[in-house]
Amino acid sequence: MRRRDFVRSLALGAAGVTLGSLRPFEAHGQPVAAPKRFVLWTTQHGPPRDTWKMSPPGLGAAGSADITGLDAAQFGRVLEPLHRVRDSVSVLEGLSMMSCMIDRTGSNNNHGISWSNLLVNVPYNSTDPFVGTVADNLHPRPGGASIDYHIGQQTGGGARLDSVMWSNGGGRFGSQFAFSSNDLGQWIVPNSNPTNAFNRLMGTGLLVPDDPMGPTDPPVTREQLVRQARFRAYNVALTHFDRIAPQLGTADQESLIAHRNHLERLGMRFRPGGTTPGPASMAMCTPEFTTSGDTMDDFFRLTTIALACDAVRTVSIDARQLRGSQIGGADTDDVHQAFAHGTDARATMMMENYYRFHAEEFANFIEYLRGVPEGDGTLLDSTLVMWVPELATGTHMFDDAPTIIAGAGASGFSPGRYIRFARDIPNVGCGYGCQYGTVGPGRVHLFVNAMRHMGMSDNSFGRTSATANDGSTIDLTGPLSEVS
Amino acid sequence: MKTTRSLAAALGGSGPRPSTRGRPALRAPAARTSALCSLFLGTLTACTGVLETPTGGPNGCPPGDPSCAPAHASCEGDPSEATALAQHPLRRLSETEYHNTIRDLFQGVPYDETELVPALTAGGFENFVANTRAVSDRDVEAFNVTVDSVAARASTDAAFLARHGCDDPAQQSACIDGFVRQFGLRAFRRPLTSDEEAVYRALIEETAATIDLAAGIETMIASLLMSPELLYRVERRGQDAAGPYEVASRLSYLIWQSMPDDALFAAAAADELSTPEEREAQARRMLSDARATEAIVDFHRQWFRFSRMDEDKYAAKSPTRFPEWTTELRASVHEEVRRFVRHVAEEDTTLARLYTDRTAFVDQEMADHYGVSAPGDWSEVELPASERSGILTRANFLAGTGIAGHGSPVHRGIFVYENLLCQHIGGVPDGVDTSAVNDPPPDQTTRELYAEITSPGACRSCHARVNPVGFSFEHYTSTGAYRTTEVGRDIDATGALVGSEFESEGVSDAVELSDQLAASEMAHACASNKWVSYMLGRRLDETSQDDACYSSRIQQVFWESGGDMRELLVSLVTQPEFVGGAQ
């Protein structure tokens, strides 16, 4: 399929996307390597324990097995929808949410601990908690940047935007809780409006368009000259940040500097004779977008557009809690209390349905990505997609957390496998929800794989070690060698 | 139309007296120490999962108990000596403040209102420092959209230029001088320093030389709109007293949620905001402006969480049980509550009126919902006395605390207990199964269901406080419709305003509960503290004697004024702490 043609398969009647003109990556007319991309998808709660697991023939207590030859039934009821993309995905069993387990104390709610630790591996901010309306200690703020933000900051320079955070949810943060945070541990409010997100990606409204004259041509119109003058205007504003910041306390100072840096980066877009972030291919990318009414599908299509057009290279998306009617119940069902927390047969079935629904969405997304030709392969080859549920189970467990990855063949990942990690690491001291004596490796190792995929050389993310209950030291550095 | 008399008139002394509809007379105002007690001691004791027997008042701290007083005995000193209230030196404008500021700064120049990133309403008000501290790239891009939208238009708007010292652009030098000085003053809410004037003059002149004067002005506007001096309220730290322009902004953002007007700037320039009398005069002038009414409405939007009914948990109501819950009704519910609070704010603005006024403004949707006739679109009606009374019996609050299948006594009770009495309650312990709430037996009333599922010992300590408050709302469905029966049985809406001085008296329904709130000194103290907290942009510090003394004086003024919110606002700005330097 030609690159521009894939969008026709995405179009859903009147609602869809079109990429318009889109050329492969090139510089001076010569093809260049596609940039690396990272997509993180978070979903609420977790599936019932063990219901998502597969048993590929010949796989022992640890190791990996090829799943491309399995039939659909062997994927199990929850993950069966992934069968159609089985050569692009890997299922990881046995990883633990080590950071959550370390930080969990007797009075914490596991939802709150999860969201402050799911994508972060440093202690949460106990002195400046995210204050809920019920009890102050339920939803602590994270202690630093989430992995998506961190990677975006470190690798996003070539694209228009460093990273974007989206959610299809309503409520306080557009989801159950916030999930991404910046270097200061401040929550990043996700964008929940796909049309606004598209406009921001493509520079319609929120960002100035790329200079059609190119970076080296002098501006010729009054409008272009005025826009270039804004570079100086914003530089004057920057001096005010520099003057005020030293007079403030630490927290204010850090926030003001973060604000300043955002402005500085925005101002660079107006720099006379400078280049606007985003490669030349961006100017060749003229997609259109219309919402389909399914916001999660919208965001998956937007992600495909954004990555293909190199508007951004790191995308994180949070899925709101599904409605009862989406999983075989009624909208009036309290999915959280009745199903996620439930342990009876109906609750188990509903949560299986819940994660089966998400597996279907995930498979659709993978098909979008691998439907875009790029070089000798597809967009998916250079994209690492990671699906991490909020919790290991709906009943708040932290160990044995289901994790699905896809793509990134160009970085040495070998999709199409079921990887079972040994659960032989002494547990760290959390109480409720992780009562097992030994657990599998922390998912933070997978974040190191993600950083390596994106071209970073980091060997750890956050804490480098933890003390187990038996007093031994757990090494939290390095990637998971089994996946790439 | 006034349904509640002024306190002083009603009691010949202090404290509000609601219309009691023939119910037993309410208790006379308690000693002032009870308010202090409720704020600074009551909040220290949360439900801990241990069943406690209340000893008189809430949290074992009965109203008027002198043992509550010593903690802040030093408040009895000369108030004029107290100026140490911690005021924050850097407060980013909330979304509302930002839009109001841009509107007032460009007066008449059209611009496209940019949707900012939603505030992190992690408790408290949207203007809390903790809620506005984070700034993302999206925020900065949104500010840039405002520049795109308004800077060019303003730079060629003759009226705008004339207002800012540029009567004749042909006289370029004079125009630039005037514009830099006057627009700079209004944008930064203080006079520019000579260095700043020089920088902006050069920016305009050099841009004008390469493009034209309008481009130079547009460039300066762009610079100011992205400056922290505009986007934040910046105050000098470590000064004994705030400067006159800082005081002007404190006044304007408290009363208008916006920048100072010309009169305030003039008062600041003349250093006429330093005495309580001067500030009171300005405050009363400002309170007569429509912007004050809208700011009071917006305060209540945040306090009563008007948008909660749109959150997933409350918006998803059973279509079979509540077929009336349509998009149209939801829009009308929002409009009705805003009109109601605006009505209160435009009248005597008392807390008692907020809790007891039966005036409503209804369209056909709301008229049908409330079971009244609507003479016209958004016409004023009086709701049935036996069914409705003030904001807690309006559809917005009731729908915002009603879950899929029924109104939630727990959510309603917690809201009143925490937000209207400022008492603290713990969360649901981890692992508690509350799924039965969503699947009640068909022959069980909501009250029976909740009484049963909250009966275990671990639940009782908190639910003994929450349930009696929440059960008084049993006449209202999840959408706020009134009902007299449920599953074929008469509604039992008896309860009690637990946590208040009226706890032992009980109530027969939410109308009576509203009456008690209207007469409760603790409810007044809580409302007063909400305003203080809103003004400071932070939670009150339970360990701070300065916070305690300041807020207790405000509580007293509020109570003695009959719970008049406008008088409370005046008292906020006339206390010596209001002009204390930022810390």
Tokens (6 digits) for B333: 């519910």
Report chain A's mean pLDDT, rounded to a whole number. 83
Which of B490, B481, B439 lies closest to B324 in space, CA to CA? B481
Flag if B136 and A188 touch (Cβ within 8 Å): yes
* Separation between Cα atoms, residue A472 and residue A467, nearest integer Å: 6
Q: Is A209 on the interface with B (CB under 8 A)?
A: no
Which chain A residue is nearest to residue B141, measuring alpha carbons? A206
Q: Is B122 on the interface with A (CB under 8 A)?
A: yes
Flag if A237 and B228 touch (Cβ within 8 Å): yes
Q: Is A173 on the interface with B (CB under 8 A)?
A: yes
pTM: 0.83
Give pLDDT, residue B176.
97
* Placement of tokens 């080590």 in the chain: A98
Residues of B in contact with A341 (CB under 8 A): 433-435
Flag if B207 and A229 touch (Cβ within 8 Å): yes
Across residues A139-151, what is the average pLDDT? 88
Residues of A in contact with B123 (CB under 8 A): 131-133
Which chain B residue is nearest to residue A141, measuring alpha carbons? B122
| Cβ under 8 Å to A: B residues 125-144 | 130, 133-142, 144
Q: Is B323 on the interface with A (CB under 8 A)?
A: no
| Cβ under 8 Å to A: B residues 354-393 | none
Q: Pick B135's closest partner by Cβ from A171, A255, A320.
A: A255
**A216: CB partners within 8 A, 6+ apart:** A273
Are B528 and B564 contacting, i.e. CB atoms less than 8 angstroms apart? no
Chain segment B357-373, per-residue pLDDT in tens: 999 999 999 999 999 99
Residues of B in contact with A196 (CB under 8 A): 115
Q: Is A205 on the interface with B (CB under 8 A)?
A: yes
Task: Count Cα atoms within 13 angstroms, Cβ side, for A279.
Answer: 24
Q: Is B90 on the interface with A (CB under 8 A)?
A: yes
Chain segment A327-340, per-residue pLDDT in tens: 999 877 888 888 99
In this predicted model, which residue has the larger pLDDT, B275 or A22?
B275
* Separation between Cα atoms, residue B394 and residue B385, nearest integer Å: 13
DSSP reduced 3-state for B163:
helix
Q: What is the DSSP string of A363-424?
A: HHHHHHHHTSEETTEEGGGGEEEEEEESSSSTT---SS--EEEEE-GGGT---SEEEE----
The residue type at B116: L
Residue A209, pLDDT > 70, answer: no
Q: Is A271 on the interface with B (CB under 8 A)?
A: no
Which chain A residue is nearest to residue B403, measuring alpha carbons? A332
* Separation between Cα atoms, residue B466 and residue B285, nearest integer Å: 42
* Placement of tokens 């795109």 in the chain: B148
Which of B62, B44, B46, B43 lies closest to B54 in space, CA to CA? B62
Residue A109, pLDDT > 80, answer: no
* Separation between Cα atoms, residue A136 and residue B44, nearest integer Å: 12
β-bridge pairing A89-93 and A417-420: parallel
Q: Pick A233's closest partner by Cβ from B203, B316, B435.
A: B203
Three-state secondary structure readout of B23-35:
CCCCCCCCCCHHH
**B543: CB partners within 8 A, 6+ apart:** none
Flag if A331 and B403 touch (Cβ within 8 Å): no
Measure in Å the smallest separation between the Cα of B517 and chain A Cα atoms.
21
Q: Pick B430's closest partner by Cβ from A110, A262, A321.
A: A110
Measure in Å the smallest separation between the Cα of B347 and chain A Cα atoms.
31
* Separation between Cα atoms, residue B218 and residue B207, nearest integer Å: 9
* Separation between Cα atoms, residue B274 and residue B242, nearest integer Å: 9
Q: Pick A255's closest partner by Cβ from B134, B223, B439.
A: B134
Produce one character per residue of A422-446: b if its CB has 16 or more CB atoms within 10 Å, e if not.
ebebbbbebebbbeeeebbbbbbbb
Residue B355 burial (C-beta neighbours within 10 Å; 0-12, 13-18, 19+)? buried
| Cβ under 8 Å to B: A residues 126-165 | 128, 130-135, 138-139, 161-162
Q: Pick B227's closest partner by Cβ from A130, A182, A237.
A: A237
Compute how many other C-beta atoms are within 10 angstroms of the C-beta atom of residue B161: 23
Residues of A in contact with B330 (CB under 8 A): none
Which chain B residue is nearest to residue A201, measuring alpha carbons? B138
Q: What is the DSSP string of B232-280?
A: EEE--BS-SB--HHHHHHHHHHHHTSS---HHHHHHHHTT--SSHHHHH
DSSP reduced 3-state for A343:
coil
**B162: CB partners within 8 A, 6+ apart:** none
Chain segment B105-156, per-residue pLDDT in tens: 999 898 888 777 776 655 679 998 877 888 888 899 999 989 999 999 999 9
| Cβ under 8 Å to B: A residues 323-342 | 323, 330-334, 337-338, 341-342
DSSP reduced 3-state for A252:
helix
* Separation between Cα atoms, residue A365 and residue A406, nearest integer Å: 10
Are A358 and A319 contacting, i.e. CB atoms less than 8 angstroms apart? yes
* Separation between Cα atoms, residue B455 and residue B461, nearest integer Å: 10
Measure in Å the smallest separation between the Cα of B439 and chain A Cα atoms.
8
Size of interface A-B (CB pairs under 8 A): 196
* Separation between Cα atoms, residue A46 and residue B492, nearest integer Å: 40
Measure in Å the smallest separation between the Cα of A309 and chain B Cα atoms.
20
Q: Pick B145's closest partner by Cβ from A169, A205, A255.
A: A205
Flag if A259 and B135 touch (Cβ within 8 Å): yes
Residues of A in contact with B134 (CB under 8 A): 182, 184, 186-188, 255, 258
Q: Pick A225's closest partner by Cβ from B145, B210, B310.
A: B210
Which of B434, B522, B450 lies closest to B493 in space, CA to CA? B450
pLDDT band at A454 (very low <50, low <70, confident <90, very high): very high
β-bridge pairing A438-439 and A37-43: unpaired
Weakest mean pLDDT among A89-93, A331-335, A356-360, B537-541: A331-335
Measure in Å the smallest separation between the Cα of A5 and chain B Cα atoms.
32
Chain segment A219-240, per-residue pLDDT in tens: 678 988 998 899 999 999 999 9
Flag if B137 and A262 touch (Cβ within 8 Å): yes
Tokens (6 digits) for A211: 């200079």
Task: Count Cα atoms within 13 angstroms, Cβ side, for A215.
Answer: 11
Handedness of CA A215, A218, A221, A226 (dihedral sign): positive
Residues of B in contact with A222 (CB under 8 A): 211-212, 215
Residue A453, pLDDT > 60, answer: yes
| Mutation for testing the A interface, residue in B87, B200, B221, B227 having most A CBs under 10 Å | B227
Residues of A in contact with B313 (CB under 8 A): 171
| Weakly modelled stretches of chain B, pLDDT under 70 | 1-74, 76-83, 119-123, 426-440
pLDDT band at A265 (very low <50, low <70, confident <90, very high): confident
- Helical packing angle, A147-155 and A444-453, nearest 10°: 20
Residue B238 burial (C-beta neighbours within 10 Å; 0-12, 13-18, 19+)? exposed
Tokens (6 digits) for A443: 């998912």
| Cβ under 8 Å to A: B residues 190-209 | 199-200, 203, 207
What is the DSSP secondary structure assignment for residue A342, as one 8-state letter?
-
Measure in Å the smallest separation between the Cα of A131 and chain B Cα atoms.
5
Tokens (6 digits) for B285: 């002038």
- Supply the ipTM of this predicted assembly: 0.87
Residues of B in contact with A321 (CB under 8 A): 312
